[in-house]
Amino acid sequence: MIDRLGAALLRGIDPERGHALALGALRAGLGPRGGPVTAPRLATTLAGLALPNPLGLAAGFDKNAVALGALSRTAFGWVEVGAATPRAQAGNPRPRLFRLSEDRAAINRMGFNNDGAEAIAARLARRPPGMVLGLNLGANKDSADRAADFAAVLARCGGLVDFATVNVSSPNTERLRDLQGPQALAALLDGVMAARARLPRPIPVFLKIAPDLGDADLAAIATVAEAAGIAAIVATNTTLAREGLRSDRAQETGGLSGAPLFARSTRILARLSGMTALPLVGVGGIATPEEAYAKVRAGASALQLYTALVYGGLSLVGDILRGLDALLARDGFATLADAVGTGRRDWL
C-alpha cells in the first residue's frame, strides 16, 4: 500500500523529476527488501542464465546503474540497466517524458541520455553478488560510426555483466532503426560478436527489436540474428503507433509504452516465435498476471516490464509473479517452460 501511495504521489509531479525521485528513494532503502520471488514453476533458464523467476526489469529505469543494490532486493528475477553509449550524452531537449494516465501509458523521447560507458562500468564493477544483471547497448547520437559504438560499449562493460542487449530499435535517436535492415544489422552484429569473443568470459548477447515491423522484416531479422549467434530476441521496444489513445499527450513524438502496446507487441512475439528457435523475451504492456501469462503462451521464455511500475509501484512485480505461478498451476504446467508457446495461435 505504501509503495503504491508513493507511486501515486510521484505521478503528481513532472515525469522526469518523478523518475529521479523514485530512483533516489530506492537507493535510500525505501523500496522492497524481500529479494526475487521464487517458486519451482517460475524458475527458468534464458540463454544459459538461471533465473529465479522470468520477470525482469527492462532497460531505461536505471540508465546509469546507480541503484543496483536496491534493485537486487526487489522481486525481479533479473535486471537490465542502460542504455549505455561510449561517451556521456545529455539526450534530447526537455520535456521528453510524458505520462498518459488515461491510457496507463507513457511516451518518451529521451535520446539515450546517460553517463557514458566509463562511469557505468565503474558502477557495474561494484554490483552486488547473486543478481542476474545485463546492460543495454546504445550509440551516441553524433557518432560517425554508430555500429562500432555498440561493440565499444560491450568491450568496456561486457566483462562486468551477465548479458548484453543490442538496442537498434529505439525510435528516439534519428535513423537508429535503419540499423534493423538485414545488411546493416549483419555488419553491426559481426562487430558486436567480435567484441564478445574477446571478453574474458563471453556472455549472451540479445537483440531488441521494434514492434512496428512486418512479417518480411521479422523473418529477415530472425535469419540475421541466428547467423550472428545472437542468444535471444527481445520483443519489443516502444512503438510509434498511436491508435486508440485518449490522453491529450497522445501526439507527442517518441516511443509509446505501457498498456496500449500490449496487443501489438504480443502479436509480434507470436509471429516471431514461429520464425525462429531462438528464445524470446516478451516486453510491452505487462501489468497483470494474465498479461504475463499471455506473453509466455505467445512464445516468451522470459519477460520484462517498466512502464507498469509508474502506475503500480514495485510491489506490482511480486503480485504479477505470484499470479503467474497460480495460472501455471491452474492449467497443469509443472514449469514455465512447459507453457511457452502453447497459445501462440491465439495471436496470429
CA dist list (Å): 239 to 178, 184, 209: 15, 21, 10
The whole-angstrom separation of Cα 24 and Cα 202 is 33
Cβ-Cβ contacts under 8 Å for 267 (sequence gap 6 or more): 347, 348
SS3 279: coil
Neighbour tally for 308: CB within 10 Å: 20
Q: Is 315 tagged catalytic?
A: no
Provide φ and ψ at 70, rounded to 5°. Answer: -65, -40
How far does CA 136 lie from the centroid of its chain? Answer: 8
Query: Which position has the grid cell 506473453?
Result: 295
Which sign does the torsion angle of CA 275, 276, 277, 281 carry?
Answer: negative
Based on its alpha-carbon atoms, the radius of gyration of the chain, rounded to whole angstroms, reads 18
For residue 338, count CB atoms less than 10 angstroms from its CB and return exposed for 0-12, middle for 13-18, buried for 19 or more.
middle
- Considering only CA atoms, which of 271, 314, 317 is closest in space to residue 292? 317
Q: Are 282 and 296 in contact (CB under 8 A)?
A: yes
Q: Are 75 and 318 in contact (CB under 8 A)?
A: yes
The whole-angstrom separation of Cα 189 and Cα 243 is 33
Cβ-Cβ contacts under 8 Å for 304 (sequence gap 6 or more): 55, 56, 57, 58, 80, 234, 281, 282, 283, 286
Establish how many alpha carbons lie within 13 A of residue 10's alpha carbon, considering only the half-sphere containing its beta carbon.
26
Catalytic one of 72, 169, 170, 315 = 170
One-letter identity of residue 167: N
The whole-angstrom separation of Cα 321 and Cα 341 is 18
Active site residues: 170
